[in-house]
Amino acid sequence: MTNPLLQEWTTPFGTPPFHLIETIHFKPAVEEAILKATEEIKYITENKEPPDFENTIAALESAGETLGKITSILFNLNSAETSKSLQEVAQDVSPLLTRFSNDITLNRMLFERIKNVYDSIESAGLTTEQRILSERKFRNFILGGAALKDEERERFRAISEELATLSLKFEENVLAETNSFELHITDSEDLAGLPESSVEMASSEAVNREKIGWIFTLHFPSYMPFMQYSERRDLRAKMLKAYSSRAFKTNEFNNSQITLKIANLRLEIAGMLGFKTFAEMILGDRMADTPEKVDLFLEELYKASKPAAVRDFENIRGFAGKQGHEGTIERYDWAYYSEKLKKKLFDIDDEILKPYFSLEKVELAIFGLARTLYGISFIRNNSIPVYNPEVKTFEIYDHDGTFLSILYIDYHPRPGKNGGAWMTSYRDQRYEKGTEVRPLISIVANFTRPSDTRPSLLSFNELTTFLHEFGHALHGMLTRCTYESLSGTNVARDFVELPSQFMENFAFEKEWLDTWATHHITGERIPDEIIVKIKEASTFNEGYACYRQLGFALLDMAWHTITEPVHTDISEFETAASAKTELFPPIEGLNMSVSFGHIFGGGYAAGYYGYKWAELLDADAFSYFTETGIFNPDTAASFRKNILEKGGTEKPHDLYLKFRGKEPSIDALLIRSGLK
Residues 142 and 193 in one domain: no
pLDDT attached to residue 375: 98
Position 50 pLDDT exceeds 90: yes
pLDDT of residue 65: 95
Element (H, E) at 442: strand 440-444
Distance CA 370, CA 378 (A): 9
Question: Residue 675 — pLDDT band, cuts 50, 70, 90?
Answer: confident
The predicted-structure confidence for 358-390, as pLDDT tens digits, reads as follows: 999 999 999 999 999 999 999 999 999 999 999
Q: What pLDDT score does 676 carry?
A: 79
CA angle 566, 572, 575 (to 5 degrees): 115
Q: Let me know if residue 153 belongs to a domain.
A: no
Q: Are residues 187 and 127 in the same domain?
A: no
Judge contact between 273 and 263, C-beta under 8 A: no
Asked if 533 and 451 sit in the same domain, the reply is yes
CB 216 within 8 A of CB 186: no
Share of the chain above pLDDT 90, in %: 97
User: Does 314 reside within a domain?
Assistant: no
- Here the CATH number for the domain that contains residue 455 is 1.10.1370.40
Asked if residue 28 is part of any domain, the answer here is yes
Shared-domain flag, residues 80 and 15: yes
> What pLDDT, on a 0 to 100 scale, did the predictor assign at position 665?
86
Give the percent of the chain with pLDDT over 70.
Answer: 100
In the predicted structure, residue 495 carries a pLDDT above the cut 90: yes
| Domain identity same for 113 and 219 | no
pLDDT digits 0-9 by tens, 122-165:
999 999 999 999 999 999 999 999 999 998 999 999 999 999 99
pLDDT of 669 strictly over 80: yes
How far apart, in Å, are the Cα atoms of 214 and each of 59, 191, 253, 267, 282?
Answer: 58, 9, 26, 46, 46
Residue 495 inside a domain? The answer is yes
pLDDT at residue 1 is higher than 80: no
469 is catalytic: yes
Are both 399 and 534 inside the same structural domain? yes
Q: Residue 155 domain-assigned?
A: no
Separation of alpha carbons 565 and 559, rounded Å = 10
Q: For the chain, what is the radius of gyration of the CA atoms?
A: 25
Q: How would you classify the pairing of strands 403-410 and 440-444?
A: parallel
For residue 200, tell me if it sits in a domain: yes
Over residues 422-437, the mean pLDDT reads: 96
> Same structural domain for residues 529 and 470?
yes
Q: What is the mean pLDDT of residues 640-659?
A: 97
DSSP class per residue in 612-665? HHHHHHHHHHHHHHHHH-TT-HHHHHHHIIIIITTTTSS-HHHHHHHHHSS---
Number of compact structural domains in the chain: 3
| Partners of 351 in the β-ladder | none
Q: Of the candidates 492, 417, 477, 485, which has an alpha carbon nearest to the alpha carbon of residue 442? A: 477
Q: Do 101 and 8 share a domain, yes or no?
A: yes
The domain boundary, picked from 121, 147, 173, lies at 147
Residue 188 and residue 94 share a domain? no
Whether residue 272 lies inside any domain: the answer is: no
Estimate to the nearest angstrom the gap between the alpha carbon of 214 and the chain centroid: 31
Which residues does 136 contact at the CB level (< 8 Å), separation at least 6?
285, 485, 486, 648
Range 35-52 average pLDDT: 97
pTM of this prediction? 0.95
Do 190 and 57 belong to one domain?
A: no
**Backbone phi and psi for residue 525, each to the nearest 5 degrees, phi listed first:** -65, 145
Cα atoms found within 13 Å of the Cα of residue 158, Cβ hemisphere only: 7
CA 10 to chain centre: 31
pLDDT of residue 384: 98
pLDDT band at 47 (very low <50, low <70, confident <90, very high): very high
Which CATH number covers residue 141?
1.20.1050.40
- Domain limits for position 236: 181-244
565 is a domain residue? no
Average model confidence (pLDDT) across the chain: 96
Residue among 615, 665, 343, 669 at smallest CA distance from 464: 615
Q: What is the DSSP string of 93-114?
A: HHHHHHHHHHHHHT-HHHHHHH
Q: Average pLDDT, stretch 176-196?
A: 97
pLDDT at 21: 98
CA–CA dist 439, 444 (Å, integer): 16
Catalytic option among 172, 462, 469, 615 = 469
Residue 565 pLDDT greater than 80, yes or no? yes
What are the phi and psi torsion angles at 380 (to 5°)?
-65, 135
Question: What's the confidence (pLDDT) of residue 310?
Answer: 96
**Measuring CA to CA, which residue among 488, 390, 397, 496 is closest to residue 444?**
390
What are the tens digits of pLDDT across the range 431-446? 998 999 999 999 999 9
State whether 521 and 636 are in the same domain: yes
Same domain for 239 and 138: no
- Read off the pLDDT of residues 64-109 as tens digits, 9 standing for 90 and up: 999 999 999 999 999 999 999 999 999 999 999 999 999 999 999 9
CA distance 501 to 498: 5
Nearest Cα to Cα of residue 342 among 513, 539, 548: 539
- Name the residue among 314, 437, 427, 527 with its Cα closest to residue 16: 427
